[in-house]
Copies of this chain bind each other. A is one copy, B any other.
């Protein structure tokens, strides 16, 4: 029977006293140490006493002596982007299953460097950095830190990644197959690696097909709905000289682009095709539904977490590069052949 409210949480000492054993024995029994050899009778008594007192190990104390906190840090560029949220969910699922807490850090609120400082002070066991340019971080904030990177290449840190370049290529091939030749692209001006790779995959596939991407048709905008809207607006004005299709390197941008088209009275996909990237839930909410490239966000997060956990358990030696997660095109309602020229 579990006890009721106690003013001060009970400790191993309390349990020891009640069970009539030494505090160390309690630790041995309750510490979950597999190779702890304790007499069955003693163990039994300790466990009952612990239940009686409603004993809960103090993770902070344990962390102090073991030098570990059983907590992970996660730094993402922007939590408001559903894609990153999905990655975080993947991380949380496996972390909490393994008994780890997750400290979520949004780079929009504080700089990654400051977040890192705060995390270290908490004896964080490891950190997962979603595409954010770890390389740009102050070196000494990274020393002796268990780190796993998501969607960015690194000599120094192990990581997991999706096929970002493939995502761009898929988008291009889809548009090309539909017959588009006048295409534009909008992406954020950040140094987030996966965004750059998406762009590269797109432009390369275009070039391989002999299609040029005029510099004026490469719009930069923050990876938000508002950003996409503004970018598309800039792409629309002069009839005749506008693209017939646009690739947005993030669904949020694509949603904004769709909005701009709706506002301007440009029919999608009749007069303009739009392709996004991520496949967030909202992609299927708009009408017509957004054609996009699906990226396995949750799986990405889960793998990153597993990789980090393995590393923490010392089983990190096997740093096999880790397969790049495949992406896939999801053709929906915002793409069609270009309008036949009047």
Q: Is A236 an interface residue (CB 8 A)?
A: no
Among B60, B106, B117, B143, the residue within 8 A (CB) of A89 is B106
Set of chain B residues within 8 Å of A259, measured between Cβ atoms = 284-285, 287
Closest to A63 in B: B60
CB interface residues, A 246-289, toward B, < 8 Å: 255-256, 258-259, 262-263, 281-282, 284-287
- If A140-B54, A282-B282, A285-B286 touch, does A103 touch B106 (CB 8 Å cutoff)? no
Among B5, B64, B258, the residue within 8 A (CB) of A60 is B64
A341 to chain B, nearest CB (A): 27
A296 to chain B, nearest CB (A): 16
Q: Is A340 an interface residue (CB 8 A)?
A: no
A285 touches B282 (CB 8 A): yes
Set of chain B residues within 8 Å of A61, measured between Cβ atoms = 64
Among B60, B102, B286, the residue within 8 A (CB) of A103 is B102
- What 1/0 mask marks residues of chain A from 49 to 64 whose CB sits below 8 Å from any chain B CB? 0000010111111011
Set of chain B residues within 8 Å of A101, measured between Cβ atoms = 103, 118, 122
CB interface residues, A 91-147, toward B, < 8 Å: 92-93, 96, 101-104, 106, 109-110, 117-118, 120-123, 139-140, 143-144
Q: How many angstroms from the CA of A57 to the CA of B4 in the assembled complex?
A: 36
Q: Is A82 an interface residue (CB 8 A)?
A: yes
Chain B CB within 10 A, most for which of A60, A102, A256 = A60
Q: Is A7 an interface residue (CB 8 A)?
A: yes
A111 to chain B, nearest CB (A): 11
Closest to A80 in B: B85
Chain B CB within 10 A, most for which of A71, A285, A286 = A285
A2 touches B140 (CB 8 A): yes
A248 to chain B, nearest CB (A): 13
Closest to A73 in B: B101
Q: Is A6 an interface residue (CB 8 A)?
A: yes
A5 touches B59 (CB 8 A): no
A22 to chain B, nearest CB (A): 21
Q: How many angstroms from the CA of A88 to the CA of B88 in the assembled complex?
A: 15
Q: Is A295 an interface residue (CB 8 A)?
A: no
B287 touches A262 (CB 8 A): yes
A281 touches B109 (CB 8 A): no
Q: Which residues of A contact B (CB under 8 A)?
A: 2-7, 9, 54, 56-61, 63-64, 69, 71, 79-80, 82, 85, 88-89, 92-93, 96, 101-104, 106, 109-110, 117-118, 120-123, 139-140, 143-144, 225, 255-256, 258-259, 262-263, 281-282, 284-287
Can you show 16 pairs from A to B with CB atoms below 8 A apart? A4-B139, A5-B143, A5-B144, A6-B143, A9-B144, A58-B64, A59-B121, A60-B122, A64-B64, A79-B85, A79-B88, A80-B281, A92-B109, A101-B103, A259-B284, A287-B287
